[in-house]
A and B are shown apart, each in its own frame.
Chain A
Amino acid sequence: AQKITQTQPGMFVQEKEAVTLDCTYDTSDQSYGLFWYKQPSSGEMIFLIYQGSYDEQNATEGRYSLNFQKARKSANLVISASQLGDSAMYFCAMREESGGGADGLTFGKGTHLIIQP
């Protein structure tokens, strides 16, 4: 079974609109971390935001916020006031911490976001 599910393969959004990228996850661990990365066409992986399973408040980083709903096992990324430079592939990822902090990340299939002027 998929551990990370991103149901939107692609999205088109008008510039300046808010965007919500969906991510659901599956784990039996009590302690885990959820990450969002941005991958522009140039290929680098850019860290955007992190949410720990025990964090009670939703994470925010500038225009990025994470809508964390633990009971529903969802960790949606919200981008406010989208910009043309936000066009990229977005990956949701999870680290299950049962094995310790050096565990690798499990990624979703990604959402290709295109911002239109």
Chain B
Amino acid sequence: AAGVIQSPRHLIKEKRETATLKCYPIPRHDTVYWYQQGPGQDPQFLISFYEKMQSDKGSIPDRFSAQQFSDYHSELNMSSLELGDSALYFCASSLGGFLSSYNEQFFGPGTRLTVL
């Protein structure tokens, strides 16, 4: 079965650079979530999109932005990178958004971002 695809899998950037992470949800899934997991930490919810509209917002820094495109893939744009942004970034997808009372979130393999 198709899973959530994230690219790149690994990314190394310098401080103050920008980075773009991409997420391709499971086919027919219309909802995408982004999470950040620092070393030894639990995942923290950043932002979600349902049908290309921002749905919920968590602890996403102002330096980060995200969007969902017409094909439902999503991109997380990160600017002015800081050392503390080094983390594993997960994308998850689900079906139904507001319509489903369950909508299990299927996680991608993650993008490991290292900021030097």
Residues on B close to A: CB < 8 A?
Answer: 31, 33, 35, 42-50, 55-56, 58, 88, 90, 92, 94, 96-107, 109-110, 112
Contacts and interface: CB of A to CB of B under 8 A. Distances in A.
Contacts of A50: 102, 104
21 contacts: A31-B101, A33-B101, A43-B109, A44-B107, A45-B43, A45-B90, A45-B110, A46-B107, A50-B104, A52-B102, A100-B97, A101-B31, A101-B94, A102-B48, A103-B48, A103-B55, A104-B33, A104-B46, A104-B48, A107-B44, A108-B42
B57 to A, nearest CB: 8
B25 to A, nearest CB: 13
Contacts of A105: 33, 35, 43, 45, 105
Nearest to A50: B104
Nearest to B48: A102
B101 A52 contact: yes
Interface of A: 31, 33, 35, 37, 43-47, 50, 52, 91, 97, 99-110
A109 B42 CA distance: 5
Nearest to A37: B107
A31 B101 CA distance: 9
A102 B96 CA distance: 8
A84 B6 CA distance: 29
